Structure 1
Amino acid sequence: MTGRRSRPTGRYGGRTAQERQAERRRRFLEAGLELFGGSPGYRNTTVAALSAAAGLSTRQFYEEFRTLEDVLSALHLQVNDWAEQAAAVALADADAAGLPLAERAAAVFRAYAANVTGDPRRIRITFTEIVGVSARMERQRLVRRARWIDFICAEAQAAARRGEAVDRDYRVAAAAFIGSVNGLLHDWSTGWVDASLDRIVDELVHLLLGLLRPLDA
């Protein structure tokens, strides 16, 4: 199928067409999280299997999406949005509490890690299933990585203005840290790193603080 079918309009069962569409999309995404993030994985899932898991038809699938990659793309963005929101809330709470740099950075990263690792399916979507799918998905992955780099740089510059960190360009350092997060969490989730999640998070927090502290700390 190369295009979506036309959608019905009007009310049915007390719900508008937009409400029914949102419900179908939600069910497809929930099914995608289960199948892509669990078993059998994105590459071994078919439209028929995803539709069956959602309790919907393949016709309804093509009303909402063009391909399975569209579902993976939406899930990857959603998982990143959840983690970004968790980090932003933790940062606001830390700022409101007036926490020093080390405690603030640790609180923000732990909030991120708790969100993305609290559900093993989210880890797999974020760090495994999206890799190597297509040029389009690689661009999306890099765009979202750039947003995390911007997030770290903004906090580093704020810390520098408060006199808590060196005033310098943090972009390369932030990119190195994000690469470490992605690589370590990917390897841990696939069983290549024999350590508890708490140990993984502790090590990454140490790396982050090493980037943000003044050079003579």
Structure 2
Amino acid sequence: MSNRNALTTPTDLKILNILATGRRHNPRTIAAKLDRDQDYMGTRIRFLRDLGYLKYAVIDKSGIFEITQRGLVAAWHTDRYVRNHHDTFHELTLTSWNHQPDNEFLPDLAWVSTEEKYGFIALNEQDVVVPSELADDPQGLPYDPEEQGFRPEFIGNILYRMYWHGFADRVGGIEAYRITDRGELVYELVTGQSDTDSVELTEHIRDTYSDDENQRLEQLIRAHETIEIDPQHGG
């Protein structure tokens, strides 16, 4: 998938958030909520359906849509969507969706893989990390790109992964990153561990959530329960 297929912001993000309540909508009702053209809303909704974030609510494709489990994962992260990193956003959304535990739904599932470990090393090198500066100087990378198999220019995507997880913030809304208090907590939890259970890690991170984040999480979990009741629903 190419970044040229990126979401239209903020329209697509608003559509996701509307449907993240678990209610079903058609282009007309979405258009009314957003005060936009109905045909254009239909185009955007179909685009989100093609990404797997939405689906037809009934088999006969009557034009009524609902969010999918994949879409609920994306909805949790809408405030961290960056158009230039659309591919990584979508990849991480799919990874989270594909690794959901069997007995519960975690739209905020977090994990630390090799890329995140490199991200933590980079973020701890200095207060603010600018990917282009690291990429310009391979000696400044927190790993050996030849030995590890990562090309230097990928450091921007690695740091965006940290932002997607909430382990880092973007400084001034540009390609500059700083570790967050949440990221420092996770770094302490995973340091020295070869493997970290993603469910346990997520539970630790939830202890740091604000009231707004907890309310948002509860809404997405309720929405998931709503769509799971419908036997026609697919994730």
Return the index of the structure with the highest Cα Rg: 1
Greater percentage in helix:
1
Higher relative contact order (CA 8 A, sep 6+): 2
Which one has a larger percent strand, Structure 1 or Structure 2? 2
TM-score norm. by structure 1 comes to 0.32
